[in-house]
Amino acid sequence: MLHYWQREIDNLKKLILSLGAIVEEQIQRAMLALQRQDKNLANEIIQKDREIDSLEIVIEEECLKILALYQPVAKELRFVVAVLKMNNDLERMGDLAANMAERGKFLSTKVMMDLVNDLSEIAEKTQAMVKKSLDSLVNTDMDLAKEVCAGDDEVDELTRQLILKTIASAEKNPERTKDYFNIRSISKNLERIADSATNLAEDVVYLCSGEIIRHKEEDYKSEENR
């Protein structure tokens, strides 16, 4: 029984990490499509979202099967519960990357805007959060997970600043209001991806310690700044 149980857990971990790798790539490619104004790449990203949706269903079914057959407790139960939550967040991140690609597709026919550089800074920090959250899962590294939680405010602030810039730019160039709206939407998508990366990190902390820190983020952010 133990042998089969461990095999199921190992398989589940491989599945969630595979999903994470695909999502991470989708986010990177969505920004690349925007920067290169590459409509074809944007279409590829949108199409690949179906693969993420399919894998999300497979992972959920695997989690439910383990819960039904093995009735795990303690750390094993925390692992399955954490994977269920991570699965949902990763699927959502995939949707957000596809939405970014849709916006990039629209902007691919427009004159490139300077604000794309501001977006790139937000994207770099967001992608770093996603990578760290996945690395913390691979290594069950609670300290790294807490670093992700502590970094979310920076992305929020950069997004706030960019939104103010899009408003000011739209007022100066009303004929491009729709273009600036799409830039704003991409920035909000990146912010939501960062939020989901934080959720992943919180789930890693739960997996490692059994502690739910969802409403204690400020404590960890304060510790990080000491």
Residue 150 is part of a domain; what is its CATH number? 1.20.58.220
Across the range 90-99, mean pLDDT stands at 97
Task: Find the farthest-apart pair of alpha carbons in the chain and give their distance in angstroms, rounded.
Answer: 68
Query: What was the pLDDT predicted at 224?
Result: 46
Query: What pLDDT band is residue 107 in, cutting at 50, 70 and 90?
Result: very high
pTM: 0.90
CA 21/CA 29 separation, integer angstroms: 12
Contact 101, 113 (CB under 8 A): no
Residue 145's domain comprises 2-224
Placement of tokens 């399955």 in the chain: 80
Render pLDDT for 186-213 as a digit per residue (tens, 0 to 9): 999 999 999 999 999 999 998 888 777 7
Please give the angle made by the CA atoms of 13, 15 and 17, to the nearest 5 degrees.
Answer: 70
If one counts the domains in the chain, the total is 1
Closest CA to 201 of 127, 123, 141: 141
Query: Which CB contacts under 8 angstroms, 24+ apart, belong to 99-102?
Result: 99/185, 99/189, 100/27, 100/30, 100/31, 100/34, 100/45, 100/186, 100/189, 100/190, 101/29, 101/30, 101/33, 101/41, 101/42, 101/43, 101/45, 101/46, 102/42, 102/46
Give the pLDDT confidence of 171-182 residue by residue, as tens digits: 999 999 999 999
Asked if the model's pLDDT at residue 38 lies above 50, the reply is yes
Cα distances (Å, whole numbers) of residue 24 to 86, 101, 174, 191 = 14, 14, 35, 15
* Closest C-alpha among 171, 169, 34 to residue 109: 34
